[in-house]
């Protein structure tokens, strides 16, 4: 399972999502779109959104810290 989370430096929901993944033992790749313009463009292409976090779980795109959607995507391992 591949989990990517697009974040910025000061996003409280990004921190909540990362903390959630840590408590669940889910390994993820953090991509900071504040520091990487190409990643920001990739995130916007995937999600149609400029807000963070954008979470990509095996191609399932979740915008924001939507715990229910995250749990559903993780349960499809």
CATH for the 3-74 domain, from 3.30.230.10, 3.40.50.10800, 3.40.50.10150, 3.40.30.10 = 3.40.30.10
Q: Categorize the per-residue pLDDT at 77 as very low, low, confident or very high, splitting at 50, 70 and 90.
A: low
The residue written with tokens 């149609």 in the block is 48
- Over the stretch 41-56, which tens digit does the pLDDT of each residue have? 999 999 999 999 999 9
Maximum distance among all alpha carbons in the chain? 31
Mean pLDDT to the nearest integer, 4-30: 97
pLDDT at position 2: 95
Helix (H, G, I), strand (E, B) or coil at 54: strand
Q: What is the rounded distance in angstroms from the CA atom of residue 63 to the CA atom of residue 23? A: 20
3-state secondary structure of 18: helix
Residues 77, 28, 64, 31, CA torsion sign: negative
Q: What is the pLDDT of residues 57-76, one digit of tens each?
A: 999 999 999 999 999 999 98
- The Cα–Cα gap between 44 and 47 comes to 5
């Amino acid at each position: 399972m591949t989990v990517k989370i697009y974040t910025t430096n000061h996003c409280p929901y990004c921190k909540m999502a990362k903390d959630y993944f840590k408590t669940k033992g889910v390994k993820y790749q953090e991509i900071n779109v504040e520091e990487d313009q190409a990643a920001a463009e990739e995130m916007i292409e995937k999600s149609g959104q400029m807000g963070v976090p954008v979470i990509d779980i095996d191609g399932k795109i979740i915008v924001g810290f939507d715990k229910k959607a995250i749990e559903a995507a993780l349960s499809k391992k």
